[in-house]
Structure 1
């Protein structure tokens, strides 16, 4: 997945290292180690010797081989574990990697334990215990004592095992006691600090109380003077405020009307790509065919782009009227575009209604693809909303100088007296059954900016046909 997204090599390696630390099982660790090996091999091919100031490729190779060795030991594959252990040891010597020799000895101790050479393993544990005791690494020392005790039991050297476990218990109790007294000392210190802070707070409260008395006295005097001035000022403002309230009410009513239109537009315009993204995301989870998954992913990405554009299109209503809207033209293959729109709308069809895509002759159109998709998707969405039985059919006919798109449905139809009103801006949704909202107003404005046109023919109870004409040049 990271290769397809072109994630930088350094970032891939860092991601794999984080995943290794959280791997749920040994098999998953092997998978991540395999990916890490692949990326480190690529570093060798590209001549990369270090990822940053702290991470050299040689050190990461050591870590990878050590990881392979420990994982294979857990899985009982001792031959593979030994191979990677020797490679890790060789890297330590070749690159003079410091402070890692004890790690190698610990893994060798586990390896000899696994293959039954218990004496060698015990000898290594004795050496490790001396080193960690000298380094004052108490926690690691205690864990090694426990492991050595279990190893001696397996070697049937019970008396020595008992002595090791006795030492283990003493050390563990000593560590627990030290931690206890350390925490007790910290609590006692914190208690003394809290007592000092409490005494300081009492002094501060007393001082604050005196200051507060003086503050209230002067505040009362100032407040009395202020109230007198305010009463005179309020009398003056009363009449002026009444006039301002009347104007503000009118402005608020106008703002509320524009807000309602704005919200209706947002709801109408954003729903189309958002539903497509949700629908294809759900299909993508269950689809096993890689080609189909790629196509679905492309459609999701296309609608992500369209959704982003639609957010800015809310402001385009005013831009259309002020002739400041920007269009981005390019050559597009219409059959491919129509097929994408068909796949999107198909997911939203009502039961009992058939979606038909007419034959699409080869045609390249120099057009703003997102705006054309927005227009056709709006028309098809409205058709789905108002068609409960029959079919919805769309397509285009290409002439030498223009392309005529059509969207035909067998839905409710539009009364003749309202066929022009539906293209008006901020039309009330109840004016035509469930209404087509602001979508058609935006379609008409966009088409006018693209030197195109839109019209409708319809009969109540039989259906409607919307025609969109766009020039080819």
Structure 2
């Protein structure tokens, strides 16, 4: 009971902070855009660059707040299960995110039709896809492959990339909140924590195999009847 009360308090706090922060962040972002538009002929190049940097950091803050809220509320809402083609769903994700021209997605021929909470599954794969793109976007030919292993009790998937890999010393904590390998991109450090939480909700698990400069494979299991 004490743990439930603590969790409820944390979720309420996350709701409050996320709501209270999101509004001023977006207001500041709008103001910055107006200032840059009104003063574009008066600002020096340095000032323009600094304003652009402010706007980029505001976007990053908004993503971070949204990620915290998504993680805190995961499992609160009941989504209806629907029947859908997994490959069709994954190709829809591919269309909604930025995929560099040098990165190619490949899907196993045996991807199933699933009766599942589609939006939640797409959230899981979107975070894995974004992670894989970050790892491969520097390559001449980046590849992201989605695999599937039939099983009676679990949905079993893998997402493999041929990117930069994750050093062994970072692999253990990679699913923790705010854990990220680089600070130079727009990563919030929440995506893989959301992946982990979704697998836990469906009595499954997620783990990885990785080698530096060779690539990373994430393995996901989700119980079929939870």
Shorter-chain TM-score range:
0.5 to 0.7
In the TM superposition, residue 459 of structure 1 has moved relative to its aligned partner by 0.4
How many matched pairs? 167
In the TM superposition, residue 404 of structure 1 has moved relative to its aligned partner by 0.7
Contact 1:403 1:470 in 2 (8 A): yes
| Cα distance between partner residues in 2 of 1:353 and 1:467 | 20
1:371 aligns with 2:120: yes
SS at match of 2:219: strand
In the TM superposition, residue 368 of structure 1 has moved relative to its aligned partner by 1.6
- Aligned Cα RMSD in Å? 3.2
In the TM superposition, residue 426 of structure 1 has moved relative to its aligned partner by 2.2
C-alpha distance 315-420 of structure 1, shift in aligned 2 (>3 A)? same
| Cα distance between partner residues in 2 of 1:450 and 1:372 | 11
Partner of 2:101: 351
| Cα distance between partner residues in 2 of 1:433 and 1:399 | 37
1:449 aligns with 2:201: yes
| Cα distance between partner residues in 1 of 2:118 and 2:197 | 16
1:385 aligns with 2:134: yes
C-alpha distance 435-344 of structure 1, shift in aligned 2 (>3 A)? closer
SS at match of 2:182: helix
In the TM superposition, residue 315 of structure 1 has moved relative to its aligned partner by 2.3
Partner of 1:330: 81
SS at match of 2:174: helix
Contact 2:202 2:222 in 1 (8 A): yes
SS at match of 1:423: coil
In the TM superposition, residue 361 of structure 1 has moved relative to its aligned partner by 4.6
| Cα distance between partner residues in 2 of 1:368 and 1:456 | 24
* Structure 2 unaligned blocks of 5 or more: 1-16, 26-57
**Alignment partner for residue 462 of structure 1, among 197, 202, 214?**
214
TM-score when normalising by structure 2: 0.62
Higher Rg: 1
More strand by share: 2
Contact 1:338 1:395 in 2 (8 A): no
* Structure 1 unaligned blocks of 5 or more: 1-254, 270-310
